[in-house]
Amino acid sequence: MKAAILREFKTPLSIEDVQQPYPDAHEVLIEVEACGVCHSDLHVADGDWPQLVPITKRPLILGHEIAGRVAEKGASVHQWEVGDRVGVPWIYWTCGECDFCREGNENLCAKQKITGVTVDGGYAEFVKVPASHATKIPDGLSAADAAPLFCAGVTVYRALKHARIQPGQRLAVFGVGGLGHLAVQVGLDLGAIVTAVDVSDEKLTQAKKLGASATLNSAAVNVVKELRRAGGAHVAMVTSAAKAAYDTAFPCVRGSGTLLVVGLPREPLCFPPIMMAATEVRIQASSVGTREDLGQVLAMAAAGKLRCQTATRPLAEVNEVLEQLRRGEVSGRIVLLPR
């Protein structure tokens, strides 16, 4: 099969013909119809984040926003049939037995395997996964529309769900890229009044079209002043990987509000403890999502409440796509088509 392979960090992926994987008894082989390109793929390809997970598998096939169909199944697989439409997220496998798994936070499982990081992912024509961790794609949702929900979608969904935002409360979304434009839609569905913040007028126009009630260009206006004048945000979600976005977002949160950490700058984040205490702001991080979160976000999309802006490109163009992403030139999500 054709696959994009990582051989060395910080070098382009090579498109090669490799052995098609063979599913074990409890696995399914998925024919990949679409695989989203996530910002994390850049970090994996560059060998960043050694403190998160040492990437020892090489050669490695990246890609963790996979949508496709069951092409083959192992002898012990009963929940799937050949032809079923399924997807695979960042979390490839969890133990099901540790405290985190049992308390409903399998995304924190210490034994987890990660798609396209510790095991081969979806920048390929086929991928094999544990049958227990494939997720059904609802009818009416195309593979290209579904794929980005397996990371970008579930990530913003879980973060906002845990922020417990109430209808009528103010949500400020910092960064209206692949994650941010989904956060605007999830926030609206939860009944929030959404303000979008970005440095790109084009992205802000998109946020407005999606239903944001206000937009602020942080390169042109004093965002802190504007948001505080309106009473501050009950929840500020930063999807941008710029530390400056956090520096701006923190003072925009109203007392007892929540700063949601989703975008991941390289530098540590610093906030004045006196302001943290004086406002009782909660600083809450979030990491992808569970299978339950994923089912909910896919249902939301199937109901027409959430749509990822996608553009499709052939798998062979993966390196150009990654470079575009690195330069910040991607609005919405680019989805690779292996065929």
Interface ranges with Zn ion (CB under 5 A): 38, 40, 94-95, 98, 101, 109, 151
Q: Output the CA angle 122-124-130, nearest 5 degrees.
A: 45
Toward Zn ion, which CB reaches closer, 94 or 218? 94
Peptide bond into 167 cis (omega under 30): no
- Provide the Cα torsion 33, 39, 41, 45; round to 10°: 140
CB of 259: closest distance to Zn ion in angstroms? 21
> Which of 284, 229, 291 is CA-nearest to residue 86?
291
**Comparison of 151 and 336: residue with beta carbon closer to Zn ion:** 151
Q: CB of 95: closest distance to Zn ion in angstroms?
A: 4
CB-side neighbour CA atoms (13 Å) of 267: 10
Task: Name the one residue in this structure whose structure tokens are 């970090």.
Answer: 43
Q: Mention every residue, 6+ apart, whose C-beta is less than 8 A from residue 11.
A: none
**Tokens at 94, concatenated:** 């969890």
**Shortest reach from residue 93's CB to Zn ion, in Å:** 9
Choice between 29 and 109, CB closer to Zn ion: 109
Whole-angstrom Cα distance, residue 6 to residue 3? 10
Q: What is the nearest approach in angstroms of Zn ion to the Cβ of residue 218?
A: 24
| Residue 99 CB neighbours (<10 A) | 10
We find the least distance from the C-beta atom of residue 237 to Zn ion, in angstroms, to be 16
Nearer to Zn ion, 109 or 253 (CB): 109
Give ∠ CA 10-13-19 in degrees, rounded to 5.
135
Give the nearer residue to Zn ion in terms of CB position, either 95 or 230: 95
Q: How far is the CB of 276 from Zn ion (least distance, A)?
A: 29
- Of 247 and 328, the one with the shorter C-beta distance to Zn ion is 328
* Min CB(292)–Zn ion separation in Å: 14
Can you read off the two tokens belonging to residue 227? 């948001």
Q: Which position has the token pair 């090579």?
A: 14
In the complex, the smallest distance separating the C-beta of residue 98 from Zn ion, rounded to whole angstroms, is: 3
Alpha helix (H) ranges present in the chain? Answer: 39-46, 99-102, 143-146, 152-162, 180-189, 201-210, 223-229, 243-249, 273-279, 291-302, 318-326
What share of residues in the chain are helix, strand, coil (percent, to 5)? 30, 25, 40
Q: How far is the CB of 107 from Zn ion (least distance, A)?
A: 10
Provide the 8-state DSSP code for 124.
Answer: B
Query: Judged by CB, which is closer to Zn ion: 101, or 321?
Result: 101
